[in-house]
Amino acid sequence: MPRPKVHDDALRARLLDRAGEILSTTGPDGLSLRALAADVRTSTTAVYSLFGGKPGLLRAVYDEAFRRFGERLSTAGTSDDPAEDLVRLGLRYRDSALADPQFYRVMFSGASGVEPGEESRRASARTFSPALDIARRGVETGVFGNDSPEQIALASWGIAHGLVALELRGDLPVDVPVAQVYERSLRALVDGWRR
């Protein structure tokens, strides 16, 4: 039999961790396989045997980021007021994104040819489902009008994503009180669905 395996799951985890760290400070372009391998005291070959290459590595980080993001959103909690819950979920969306902007960027700004893949599709759907659940409750309980839960949830996702993306890119006018504008926007949108 051959020599003992070194490119194992433990190494995979270490690479993933360190890649996430580098990525969250420098962005995808600043992540070099050579530097990463040296950091973890292995060779670039490890990245290829474990992830298939740089896109594979990024996809893995991306999947992990999406998983955590979905987890945060799914623990937002609910009350008996779906409209308020939707606002609260939106606020949590922003908090989660601002907690690690580079991760958010990797997830949603699609740099360096990161193709989602099956796993991430599911994670993406899971990210979306809390909003959908709340919207459904809102429609069922008659808080919202005649629109479909999908419609309502998508719009909420859209405005949260849009404002956060603009904020992270610094495209918002400098003097706006972002948090306040953000929350007020969510409320206006939610109010628009009321029956």
Write down the residue that tokens 């993933």 correspond to.
Answer: 16
Confirm or reject binding of residue 77 to its own copies (CB under 8 A): no
When the beta carbons of 11 and 88 are compared against its own copies, the nearer one is: 88
Minimum separation from the CB atom of position 174 to DNA (A)? 28
Give every CB contact of residue 86 below 8 A, 6+ residues apart in sequence.
131, 134, 135, 138, 152, 156, 186, 190
What gap in Å lies between CA 38 and CA 24, rounded to an integer? 18
Q: Residue 185: name its binding partner from its own copies, DNA, none (Cβ under 5 to 8 Å by kind).
A: its own copies
**Considering only residues 48-77, where is the footprint of DNA by CB under 7 A?**
48-49, 53-55
Write down the residue that tokens 């270490």 correspond to.
Answer: 14
Confirm or reject binding of residue 22 to DNA (CB under 7 A): no
3-state secondary structure of 144: strand
Greatest distance between any 2 Cα atoms in the chain: 70
Residues making contact with its own copies (CB under 8 A) = 27, 29, 105, 108-113, 116, 124-125, 128, 147, 150-152, 154-155, 157-163, 165-166, 169-173, 176, 181, 184-185, 187-193
Residues making contact with DNA (CB under 7 A) = 1-8, 31-35, 42-46, 48-49, 53-55
